[in-house]
Structure 1
Amino acid sequence: MHAPFVSVVIPAYNEGERLPRFVAELTRVFLERSAPPVEFVVVDDGSAPKQAELQRASVEAAQARLATAGARHQFTYVAAPRNQERARPSGSAGVTRQRASRGWPSWTRMAPSAPRSFTDWWR
């Protein structure tokens, strides 16, 4: 993999039912379109074991698909051993989250066109 041009952090807490669709769509879009190398880091903040397994499996499948296609992008899964709550730094994952004035917007509420819009931004 080339050094990533940009890193995108995707927070995930018990998103095992929704994250696989999102990751699959991101993978599909980034395989179809030209974009600088992007590193997607899915950070699991202490999800329940079944949810964590589904999340990890979706990231591993996406990375395998990117590697098979020879894509310059990369998916990585990082997991904290337990939930760190909203305003605390996730020391185990090396990620600090900050609270926005109105709370975090959920990636699960993004419009279906959001991944395409993101890649269109690079054009």
Structure 2
Amino acid sequence: MANATCPPGNSLPVFNGLPIPANITTAFTPRNNDSEPAMIACCSPNPVNVAADCYVWCEVPPRLQNGSQVEIQGAFSNCLHLNSPENSTQIRIVGAHVAMAARAIPTTRELGLWALLSVGGWVLALGM
């Protein structure tokens, strides 16, 4: 990589340490060129972004989102390999993050609202 402050290109940081949204399924790899043809092809129709000046990432398109995190990571890695120049034998490390599922546990605010509505309903029912 061109930036000397970036870690070695054969390792990935913990996803939570990167400034990448956690509410979408993403793939990321050590690079800092957001116009790399293989990355553009695999991310399309989504844009390629740069995080922390050391990693390119994008929202994984639906065609590559089938399966677990490991399967998505493998599909994205395979896409990068297939879209790289034919003479490229370079293996690229790829990370993937699956969007966090919708929250099933209500927040304190939501519980408070339900409690207020329940008490209000009882007051109205008993007051009649």
Q: Please report the TM-score for the alignment, with normalisation by the length of structure 1.
A: 0.27
Greater share of strand residues, 1 or 2?
A: 1
Q: Please report the TM-score for the alignment, with normalisation by the length of structure 2.
A: 0.26
